[in-house]
């Protein structure tokens, strides 16, 4: 019992040292090692399974055009149903990424983002169906498919399936989490990590906190976008967009095939499986975006919880600018 108590005290002391001002050097060494290892793994699997590697490089060309695009991140919350048809047209004139179950929505984004379960189970039926929907949405102009890289155990199950997805371009991206667990270190460690991730355009590794939207915000910043708009990122316990009665009436009923509980949409607000809540992480990213990247993070609708902290994107002004020839 005494030896366990000693080990516990030593462990707590080491953690305190890691989170201290002096521990910043160790945290950054750990982050650098994580980035290096993740990039090496991505290089291996991208080459082996034929996935493209130059995601950030490609997006940087779009963000640096004569009329820089806004980067729309399309989540699955019910507030999506408040977005007007003409506002989706604005998204079509910019760049949009649909997350997870977005293929259930009729709006076709430029890219879809998916992730695998991190185990050796067979590819789940729901993921295969969603990816099939995404791949076949618009045969004339297929959206690219972006996947969080699979685990080592999952790799053998992914190869054959990916080769069957004829048409869309497939990208893998990696992720790293912060090593800090202290709120006081959050801003500085995010900023340093993004700077470290910005070195090099291939084998894209994104900052993560256990949420797709965090990875996509970091992708937008690393790619040079100055306007990042969160749509359907509700963070308020709302239901998913395809459970809305009006959506069902217009677009069909997907609730039986893609069941969800409203409470699931709030899971990323907790810290049981992550050191920081998604809300805190997004708000810190928004601050750093403005301070260090000259960028701004918006929400698409006032119904989103983050509308109390972030500005609501002005779609009407965007439509006016575009019609006058000055838009994106």
User: If you search the block for the tokens 């007007």, which residue do you land on?
Assistant: 84
pLDDT at 45 (0 to 100): 80
State the alpha helices, DSSP H only, in the chain. 2-19, 24-49, 55-63, 85-93, 125-135, 155-163, 183-197, 212-222, 245-251, 278-293, 315-323
Q: What is the pLDDT of residues 259-284, one digit of tens each?
A: 987 655 555 565 666 779 999 999 99
pLDDT at 56 (0 to 100): 86
Q: What is the pLDDT of residues 161-185, one digit of tens each?
A: 877 776 678 888 999 999 888 899 9
Whether 248 and 104 have beta carbons less than 8 Å apart is answered as no
Q: Which two tokens stand for residue 40?
A: 């090496």
Q: What is the pLDDT of residues 54-112, one digit of tens each?
A: 788 888 887 777 666 899 999 999 999 999 999 999 999 999 999 999 999 999 999 99
pLDDT at 46 (0 to 100): 72
Alpha-carbon distance of 140 to 34, in angstroms, equals 39
- Please give the angle made by the CA atoms of 44, 102 and 89, to the nearest 5 degrees: 110
Share of the chain above pLDDT 70, in %: 84
Question: Residue 327 contacts by C-beta under 8 Å, 6 or more apart in sequence?
Answer: 67, 93, 318, 319, 320, 321
pLDDT at 326 (0 to 100): 39
Whether 268 and 235 have beta carbons less than 8 Å apart is answered as yes
Q: Which helix (H) or strand (E) holds 228?
A: strand 227-231
Alpha-carbon distance of 266 to 192, in angstroms, equals 28
Tell me the DSSP string of 6-37: HHHHHHHHHHHHHHSSTTHHHHHHHHHHHHHH
Distance of CA 33 to the CA centre of its chain: 22
pLDDT at 263 (0 to 100): 55
Residues forming a β-bridge with 208: 177
CA-based R_g, the chain, Å: 20
pLDDT at 311 (0 to 100): 97
Q: Helix, strand, or coil here: 174?
A: strand
pLDDT value at 301 more than 50: yes
pLDDT value at 207 more than 60: yes
Give the global pTM: 0.89
Alpha-carbon distance of 289 to 296, in angstroms, equals 6
Structural domains in the chain? Answer: 24-323 (3.90.1480)
pLDDT band at 328 (very low <50, low <70, confident <90, very high): very low
Q: What is the pLDDT of residues 120-164, one digit of tens each?
A: 777 888 999 999 999 888 767 788 999 998 888 888 888 778 777
pLDDT value at 323 more than 80: no
């Amino acid at each position: 019992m005494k030896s366990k108590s000693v080990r516990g005290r030593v462990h707590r002391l080491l953690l305190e040292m890691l989170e201290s001002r002096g521990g910043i050097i160790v945290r950054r060494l750990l982050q650098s090692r994580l980035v290096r290892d993740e990039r090496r793994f991505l290089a291996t699997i991208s080459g082996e399974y034929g996935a493209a590697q130059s995601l950030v490089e490609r997006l940087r060309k779009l963000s640096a055009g004569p009329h820089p695009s806004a980067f729309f991140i399309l989540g699955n919350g019910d507030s999506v149903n408040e977005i007007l048809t003409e506002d989706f047209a604005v998204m079509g004139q910019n760049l949009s990424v649909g997350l997870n179950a977005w293929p259930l929505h009729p709006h076709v984004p430029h890219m879809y983002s998916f992730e695998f379960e991190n185990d050796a189970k067979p590819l789940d039926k729901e993921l295969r169906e969603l990816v099939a929907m995404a791949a076949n949405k618009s045969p004339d102009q297929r959206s690219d498919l972006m996947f969080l890289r699979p685990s080592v155990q999952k790799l053998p199950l992914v190869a054959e399936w990916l080769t069957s997805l004829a048409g869309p371009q497939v990208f893998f991206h990696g992720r790293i989490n912060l090593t800090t667990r202290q709120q006081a270190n959050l801003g500085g460690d995010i900023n340093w990590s993004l700077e470290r991730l910005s070195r090099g355009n291939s084998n894209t590794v994104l900052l993560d906190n256990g949420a797709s939207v965090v990875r996509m915000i970091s992708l937008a910043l690393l790619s040079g976008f100055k306007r990042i708009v969160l749509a359907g990122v509700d963070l308020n316990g709302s239901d998913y967009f395809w459970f809305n009665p009006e959506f069902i009436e217009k677009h069909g009923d997907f609730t039986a095939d893609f069941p969800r509980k409203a409470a699931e949409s709030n899971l990323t607000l907790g810290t049981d499986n992550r050191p920081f809540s998604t809300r805190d992480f997004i708000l810190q990213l928004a601050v750093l975006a403005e301070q260090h990247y000259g960028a701004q993070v918006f929400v698409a609708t006032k119904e989103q919880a983050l509308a109390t902290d972030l500005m609501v994107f002005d779609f009407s002004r965007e439509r006016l600018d575009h019609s006058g020839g000055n838009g994106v």
